[in-house]
Amino acid sequence: MQPEKIDPRWSRIERLFDKPEQREKILKLPEGATERLEHLWPYWRRPDQAEPEGDWRTWLVMAGRGFGKTRMGAEWVRAAAERHPGIQIALVGATDSDVRRVMVEGPSGLLAIAHWRLRPKWEPSLGVLTWPGGAQAYVYAASEPERLRGPQHHIAWADEIGKWAHADEAWDNLMMTLRMGDAKVIATTTPRPIKLVRRLVAQDKVRKTYGRTRGNRAHLADAFLAGVEADYAGTRLGRQELDGELIEDVEGALWTRDLIERCRARRAPELVRVVVGVDPPASATGDACGIVAMGLGRDGCGYVLEDASVSGLRPEGWARAVAACVARHGADCVVAEANQGGDMVLSVLHSADAGLAVRKAHAQDGKAARAEPVQLKYEAGRIFHVGAFPELEDELCGMQMGGGYEGPGRSPDRADALVWAATELMLGKARGARISFL
């Protein structure tokens, strides 16, 4: 396919946008030139979404949810692909699914923003986008950093680096691929204080764009903004997710980000047992239900396999989610807190799957107190996360010694479900001092 010959008038249109007093002339341009106005990012973007000036290699865009980070990354890649036929591009997300669902096929992704005459060909089975001019973009998952060994690229877009598993290794491997031409990378993320994000923020040579959710209010529903600001403004979660602030570890936190990064594994070894920990909702009106699958390896270590937690479901809904998690991992039992609900919890779970083996756990101490022995297993290098579980890890890092909680949500439901699973698998008779099984 031959690349489109761009009408020379189009370049003139782009130049006009740098001169506001001339923009009315756009209305007088022929239809063939104006039909692409919708896709002219330099005209529609806000000033805080503009590419940095001057010579740079890494551009970090760290902002609140809804700021327009995905659109910024996609438009930057699109412009490079259309202007430089034949360039090679890396698209890196937390997983292959994240790249496809957000960066390629999402509402602000590369396919959605493309002009129909310059729309790239998308081959999902190969994970490749090809523009009419010959530029190609390849899909990579940070969860598989070894895939970034070998290929080479001119530019790269790294999305949501704050939730990457093996973030440092994936980033370093990505940077090693940028060995063609004037190589550059844009990293777009909601802030999370993992080592990689802190590292980029600290580097003077990295160009940085910060922003708040409210900065994109013209494209966000008023009800959404009013709701999230009423619920989260001024809170730690709001400062991170809405204001785009990089919030460091909570004072007195049981878990730190660095500790969790040290306890990350690419895969689990042969497992001798798998259980699913469940922290049921406190009411039947759709509160969060913590659901975490964990296995015990032949090496005696624990491996967190999945955070299958759900929100907004009635009892029959979260019970089905528990049963599905058990089936996926071949778990031999469910460990569910029975402080609230007691036999009701057992009845609800059996209504989803009559064959579920359920152990009802009665907590004699608060969440933080019963989490402390589990945290010590992390410190000893005996529990690992197989992949990344951002929401679960945010809750773990919000739990404080002495019983405080400074994480997302009203309660660390995911973290508590992990504690139940780890206690069943790894604490043996010692667990009786804190938990009794009915």
Q: Which amino acid is at 90?
A: A
| C-beta of residue 90 within 8 angstroms of C-beta of residue 137 | yes
Tokens representing residue 110 in the block: 């590369």
Single out the residue of 364, 350, 290, 361 nearest to residue 320, CA to CA.
Answer: 350
Residue 19 gets which letter from DSSP? -
Residue 289 gets which letter from DSSP? B
| C-beta of residue 81 within 8 angstroms of C-beta of residue 131 | yes
Tell me, rounded to whole angstroms, the distance of Cα 392 from its chain centroid. Answer: 12
Alpha-carbon gap, residue 144 to 128, rounded angstroms? 17
Single out the residue of 388, 387, 418, 389 nearest to residue 268, CA to CA.
Answer: 387
Give the sheet arrangement for strand 383-386, strand by strand.
264-265, 383-386, 302-307, 290-297, 271-279, 333-337, 358-363, 435-437
Tokens representing residue 259 in the block: 């500790």
Alpha-carbon gap, residue 204 to 191, rounded angstroms? 18
Report which secondary-structure segment, H or E, holds 275: strand 271-279
Alpha-carbon gap, residue 242 to 315, rounded angstroms? 31
Tokens representing residue 153 in the block: 């690229």
- C-alpha count within 13 angstroms, C-beta hemisphere, residue 326: 24
CB atoms within 10 A of CB 247: 16
pLDDT at res. 361: 81
| 3-class state of residue 3 by DSSP | coil
The full length of the chain comes to: 438
Quote the radius of gyration of the chain (alpha carbons, Å): 25
| C-beta of residue 276 within 8 angstroms of C-beta of residue 421 | yes
pLDDT at res. 282: 75
Alpha-carbon gap, residue 274 to 340, rounded angstroms? 25
| 293 class by beta-carbon count within 10 Å (0-12 exposed, 13-18 middle, 19+ buried) | buried
Report which secondary-structure segment, H or E, holds 79: helix 69-83
pLDDT at res. 62: 95
Per-block mean pLDDT, blocks of 10 residues, the chain (438 long): 42 48 59 63 85 93 93 96 94 96 96 89 96 96 93 96 93 95 93 91 94 84 85 74 82 89 92 95 75 97 97 90 95 85 74 83 79 94 92 91 83 93 81 46
Alpha-carbon gap, residue 193 to 112, rounded angstroms? 31
| C-beta of residue 423 within 8 angstroms of C-beta of residue 435 | yes
pLDDT at res. 279: 92
Tokens representing residue 68 in the block: 């327009």
DSSP assignment of 81-107 equals HHHSTT-EEEEEESSHHHIIIIIISST
Q: What is the largest CA-CA distance in the chain?
A: 82
Q: What are the CB-based long-range contacts (under 8 Å, 24+) for 4-11?
A: 4/117, 4/118, 4/132, 4/133, 7/32, 7/33, 9/33, 10/36
Tokens representing residue 414 in the block: 């995911």
Place of tokens 């239900």: 289
Cα 59–Cα 110–Cα 118 angle in degrees, nearest 5: 115
Instruction: Pick left, alpha or beta for residue 126 (phi over 0 → left; psi -120 to 50 → alpha; otherwise beta).
Output: alpha
| 3-class state of residue 42 by DSSP | helix
| C-beta of residue 242 within 8 angstroms of C-beta of residue 65 | yes
The pTM for the full model equals 0.72
Strand stretches in 42-192, DSSP E: 58-63, 88-93, 121-123, 128-130, 136-141, 155-159, 184-189
SS3 content of the chain, % helix, strand, coil (to 5): 40, 20, 40
